[in-house]
Each structure stands twice: as structure tokens, then as C-alpha cells.
Amino acid sequence: MSAFASSLALLRADLRVDRTRLISWTLGLGLLAAYVRPAYASMYPTVEARAARVELVRTPAAVFMTGPQFANGHGDEPGTVAPTDLGAMIANQLSSTLLVAAGVMSVLLAVRHSRAEEEDGPAELLRSKAVGRLAPLMAAWGTVKIANLAVAAAIALGLAATGSPALDSLALGAGVGLTGMAFGAVTLLGAQLTERSRVATGIGMAALGLSFLLSGIGDLQDPQGGPVAWLSPLNWAQQTRCYVDLRLWPLLLPLALIALALPAAFALADRRDFGRGLVQRRTGPQTASSTLTGVCSLSLRLQRGTFLGWGAGLALMGLAMGSFANALGSTLRDNPRAAAIFGHISGDDLAGAFFATFLRFGSVAVAAYAVAAMLVLAKDQTSGVGELILAGSVSRARALAGPAVATFAASAGLLALYGLGMGASGAAVTGQTRWLWRLPSAAWAYLPAQALFIGLVALLFSLRAAWAKAAWLLVLYAASASVLGPLLRLPRWSTALSPLEAVPNLPAAPFTPSGPLALALIAAALFGGALAAFRRRDYSAG
């Protein structure tokens, strides 16, 4: 039997299982690409307004987060493109977001259909049938490839449909797709090294984070991408110079990375034992420490690695956001349309409104962490770990409350780190040390909202484990309300149901306890309902 026997059947099964995810990623990134050009044209209708935006993204923090800038002409000479050209602005300011999103999608898909299936058991059942040894890995790669092809097509279509040059749009979409495939191939290679899906995900995300760091450092060296930037796969697609001076040869670099990583992944998969990694997991101590005697402490320990990764990322993001405070001020004063994102503000409270807006953006990320951390309850039920916990002297109330308390504590830590990072850089650029303590405390105003997200996951899980993932819909809605609501001037009723909208806009506005108190009461009601439902539910039936 061939090592790749039944690969096509497994691929069809993977695509059917993930059809909702794939459609969501494709539509989301495609609509984002279609939205940006008309949004920029509306927000920056004049050359002067766009010039102010260009000056903003030339600050070191903005250069680090966006990408190389190739447009440096005046646009009135043949063969030159001005930095204020909408196409040049899109390539500079949108490409990084699309590339990182495609990378995240590819990492998650690669782990989900390779190492996670071995760890959870489905792959073992498949291997008992007429399935080749390498067929699951081939199906996983096929899923990653098809997902990125769909995303690439959606991005190219979205950009071209809104007036961007078709060939450049196609090149940008192809660059995003190939970059996503490259990170998927690297993740599949990393998945052969470890026997745990979390570690495999960490390897893929670490590769993505390192690429982002190298790209940012290289762009700081040279606005058009320094030598260090060429070490980053994220930079390769940007080096096509879409909408400025199109060249396609940089797209050969992600193809070369795929050609190296993918055969290596198949070779290692063919040599290792099923369910094992090439790097063996260390055995733990024979007895647990005194800090691991409860469900809550165990949950904290299990979240430690994830918390450290998210904490470092949010702290760095806070540092970057805070450094924009002064540079963004001049842009907002001269551009009322852009200032609409930050609400009705005056010159005196401009910094406060800026910080309040980005604190809300950060709270969306923390909400995503909280939901992801709580979903381990559903995974434990599927894997059988939950039954082992309940088989001991652990009540159902403690089994549910432990992860919830641990996740709430972790969320508090993440909010503090984000606020502290923003406060440190904000104090440095504004010269006002008050932000060092005001922003971390303002970030904690979102704790009741985080409790609501945690309570919602707990309630959905207590009713039926498969329903817990529906909590992501509230995170998506909250993110849309916080980011797109002010920008598109959506009516108040369309965003009012977001838990984050009930939190006062600290530090720009005075603290009013009514919103956080209402969120806390709703969170308590959700968790109370979760406890009642969990006591009655047949755990094994789900």
C-alpha cells in the first residue's frame, strides 16, 4: 500500500469539517481587502490628508508594524508613484495585516489536522483502516494549501473590485497565499518534533513572531527593507512592490522555503513513531508540588506557557501603541474623519482618548485569550482528562470554577501588562508620568467584561460541550463593534450589545460604575446558571 493511500478522502473530510472556518477566513480577509481602499478614500479625501497619514506611518513604531515604503516620488513624473497614492498606502499599511492573518490561519490549520489529531485520537482510528502512513500529513498540507489559495483569490478579487490595478492585486494576493503556505509547511515540520499540539502551535507562532520581528528591524534599518528584513518570509511578499514598481521574483522565496520544509516534514513523519515526536517529552516529578493541589492552581500551571507568550505579545503591542500618542495627535487635529475613530475629543484630552481607544482594542485580544483558555474544558471532556478529574475528590462546582478563576486571574495580568506597556511608552513620548499608573488601572476597568466572556463559555459548556465554541461569535461581534463601529459611524443600537461598550472610556472619560457593575452582575448570573446546568448534565453524553 502506498504511503499516501486515501489522502484525497482524508482531504475531503478535513475540508468538510473545517468548511465554516475556511469560509470565515476567506470572507473576512477578502472583505477587509475590499474595504480598505474606499475607506481610505473616504477618510483621506485630499492629498494633504493622505500626506498627514503618510507622515504618521513614517514614525519608527509605525514602520516596525507596517512594512517597507517603496513610493518616494512625487507622482507627477513618468514611472514615479507618490507615497500618497492609495495603492501605495494599501501595500504599505494593509499587507502586513493580511500576511500575519494568513500565517496565523495556516499555523492553526496545520496543527489541527496533524499533531492535534494524533494527540486526541482520531488519527489512530484512521490508521486502522486502509490509510497510508503519510496520508494524514498530505491531507493536512492539502487543507492548508486550499485555504491559502482561497484567501489569495478573495484578496485579489476584493482589491481589484474596488479599483486597484488587477495585476498588482493578483500579486499581493499571491504573496499572501504563498506566505501562508510557507508558515503552514514550517508548522508541519515543527509538528514532527513534538508530541503535543500546543507545543507545535507554539513553534509555528514563534516562527511567525520571529519573522515579524526581523521584518520590523529590517524596515527600521532601511525604509525599503534592510538586510535583516530579507530573513523574514513576511518581507518577501512585500518586496514585490505592489502598486509601485511590481516585480514578481521575490515570490520565488516562499516557494523555496516550502520546497525545503515540506519534504523534511514528510521525511521526519516517515521515520518517527506514531503519536511520538522526535524530541521526547521529559518525565515529570513523581509527586506534585504543594502549589498543584487544586483545580485552580493546576489550571494556572497549564496556562503558564500560553500566558507568558500572550503577555509578552500584549506588552510589546502596548509599547508600540503608546509610542504613537504624539505622532497621531497632529494627524487627528488636521483630519476630522480620522479623529472620528476616537470619538468626540478636544485638544486637551486627545492623548486620553487615544489611549482609551487602544485600551479597548487590547481588551478584545484579552477576551480572545479568555475564551480560548476556557475552551480547554470542552477539550478535556473529549480527551477524557475531565473524567479523571471528576473521578477524584473534586466536585463539579470546583471542576468548573477552577479554570474560570484561573482564566480571570490570567486576564487581569494580561490587561495590566498591556496597560503598563502602553503607559511606559506613552509617558516617554508625552513626558507625563501619570500614564504609568493610570493606564494599567484603566485597563482593569475591562475585568467585568472579561468575566462575562468567561461566564458565557462556562454556561455554553455546561449546557453542551460542543456549544462552547459559539462564544467566539461574541468576541467577533465585540471586535467589530470596537474597531469598525466608530470608523463606519454605525448606529448606536448596532454596537450596544458588545460587553466592551459598557465600560467607560478611561482615561478620557470619568469612571462611572453602572456599566462595569451591570457586566459583573450578568457575569455572575451566567456563571450561576453554568453551575446549575453542569450539576445536572450527563458529563459523558456531552
What is the mean pLDDT of each successive set of 10 residues along the chain, which is 542 residues long?
76 86 90 85 78 71 74 57 78 86 92 80 63 81 94 94 90 94 93 81 84 82 80 90 88 94 89 69 70 79 82 84 68 56 52 81 90 84 72 81 92 94 86 87 94 94 87 87 63 76 84 91 94 82 60
Q: Which of the listed residues 258, 280, 302 is the one where a domain comes to its end?
A: 280
**How many Cβ atoms sit within 10 Å of the Cβ of residue 383?**
14
Q: Which of 234, 246, 524 is nearest to 401 (CA)?
A: 524
Query: Are 241 and 344 members of one domain?
Result: no
Query: Are 363 and 273 members of one domain?
Result: no
CA distances from 36 to 89, 152, 158, 161, 343 (A): 10, 16, 9, 12, 20
Query: Are 434 and 492 members of one domain?
Result: yes
pLDDT of residue 340: 53
Answer yes or no: is 262 within a domain.
Answer: yes
DSSP for 322-376, please give it: HTTHHHHHHHHHH-HHHHGGG-S--STTHHHHHHHHHHHHHHHHHHHHHHHHHTH
Per the structure block, which three cell numbers stand in for 144? 492548508
Answer yes or no: is 22 within a domain.
Answer: yes
Q: In residues, how long is the chain?
A: 542
Burial class (CB in 10 A: 0-12, 13-18, 19+), 17: middle
Query: Are 367 and 270 members of one domain?
Result: no
Distance CA 179, CA 104 (A): 11
pLDDT of residue 380: 76
Distance CA 320, CA 315 (A): 9
**How many Cβ atoms sit within 10 Å of the Cβ of residue 369?**
24
Per the structure block, which three cell numbers stand in for 498? 458588545
Q: Which of 175, 179, 176, 156 is nearest to 166 (CA)?
A: 156
Query: Are 397 and 274 members of one domain?
Result: no
Contact 245, 94 (CB under 8 A): no
Contact 501, 495 (CB under 8 A): yes
Answer yes or no: is 321 within a domain.
Answer: yes
Answer yes or no: is 151 within a domain.
Answer: yes
Query: Are 305 and 166 members of one domain?
Result: no
pTM exceeds 0.85 for this model: no
Query: Are 139 and 3 members of one domain?
Result: yes
pLDDT of residue 456: 94
pLDDT of residue 80: 59
Burial class (CB in 10 A: 0-12, 13-18, 19+), 11: buried
Answer yes or no: is 286 within a domain.
Answer: no
Burial class (CB in 10 A: 0-12, 13-18, 19+), 208: buried
**How many Cβ atoms sit within 10 Å of the Cβ of residue 146?**
16
Answer yes or no: is 272 within a domain.
Answer: yes
Answer yes or no: is 118 within a domain.
Answer: yes
Query: Are 232 and 360 members of one domain?
Result: no
Query: Are 198 and 321 members of one domain?
Result: no
Query: Are 196 and 312 members of one domain?
Result: no
Query: Are 269 and 339 members of one domain?
Result: no
pLDDT of residue 281: 67
Answer yes or no: is 285 within a domain.
Answer: no
* Domain span including residue 316: 291-542
Query: Are 452 and 399 members of one domain?
Result: yes
Domain count, the chain: 2
Q: Which of 108, 244, 221 is nearest to 172 (CA)?
A: 244
